[in-house]
A and B are shown apart, each in its own frame.
Chain A
């Protein structure tokens, strides 16, 4: 069965510094990988996805993520953090092979706190 792990409950970064939010996954086949963001009192919003192709994918609000097949990771990054990036971030995975793991499941989330 597929799984996704976000090892950090919270990440604190000073404004203007680069940020990384970590995600690792496990699937039987090849993964579809996603990042979603949840701002306070708001619904989940799609940020970016990896399906195939370039290992570095770009998404909304200046975020990008790097797919690393050998390390089964899909870390979220941004070169320069903004206070407005403070939110809850969720990594998600779907097994491209289909079958029982053809559903999208989410990690437990990482709270990103950007310090002014």
Chain B
């Protein structure tokens, strides 16, 4: 069990640029979540996958955000035309969808949009 890994740990970008984050979940986990967290706040749900299928994308999320999990393993989250309001910690978590679902979180990617 190597844990959930996220890359990069930090990303600084200029407003209007595109960014992509990667998440590698625990290998046998079939569920993968993306959350966004700002300082002192709770994780805000963005989207989640079961295997390669994207089950839901938050209605609060603009069309600039897209996520994929092409082979049911790693996942990418892309933000196009970044805005300063996108600055946050982006968290990935994985789990096994059963009656005792427990999320394992990565360390996150801290995005700063200048």
B106 within 8 A of A: yes
Q: In the bound complex, do residue A109 and residue B99 qualify as a contact, i.e. CB atoms below 8 Å apart?
A: no
Main secondary structure on chain A at its contact with chain B?
strand
Q: In the bound complex, do residue A106 and residue B35 qualify as a contact, i.e. CB atoms below 8 Å apart?
A: yes
Residues of chain B whose beta carbon lies under 8 Å from any beta carbon of chain A: 33, 35, 40-45, 48, 55-56, 91, 93, 99-108
User: How many chain A residues have a CB neighbour from B under 8 Å?
Assistant: 23
How many A-B Cβ pairs are below 8 Å? 51
Residues in A26-41 with C-beta less than 8 Å from chain B: 32, 34, 36
Given contacts A88-B40, A90-B43, A109-B42, contact A32 B48 (CB under 8 A): no
A11 within 8 A of B: no
A14 within 8 A of B: no
Question: Contact string, A105-116, partner B, CB cutoff 8 A, digits 1/0?
Answer: 111110100000
Q: In the bound complex, do residue A105 and residue B45 qualify as a contact, i.e. CB atoms below 8 Å apart?
A: yes
**What are the residues of chain B within 8 A of A104 when measuring CB–CB?**
33, 45, 101, 103
Q: In the bound complex, do residue A49 and residue B102 qualify as a contact, i.e. CB atoms below 8 Å apart?
A: yes
**What are the residues of chain B within 8 A of A32 when measuring CB–CB?**
101
**What are the residues of chain B within 8 A of A43 when measuring CB–CB?**
91, 105-108
Q: Give the CA-CA distance A90 to B56 in the complex, in Å.
A: 22
A44 within 8 A of B: yes
Q: In the bound complex, do residue A46 and residue B55 qualify as a contact, i.e. CB atoms below 8 Å apart?
A: no
Q: In the bound complex, do residue A108 and residue B42 qualify as a contact, i.e. CB atoms below 8 Å apart?
A: yes
Q: In the bound complex, do residue B43 and residue A44 qualify as a contact, i.e. CB atoms below 8 Å apart?
A: yes
Which residue from A51, A103, A109 sits with its C-beta under 8 Å from B41? A109
**What are the residues of chain B within 8 A of A88 when measuring CB–CB?**
40
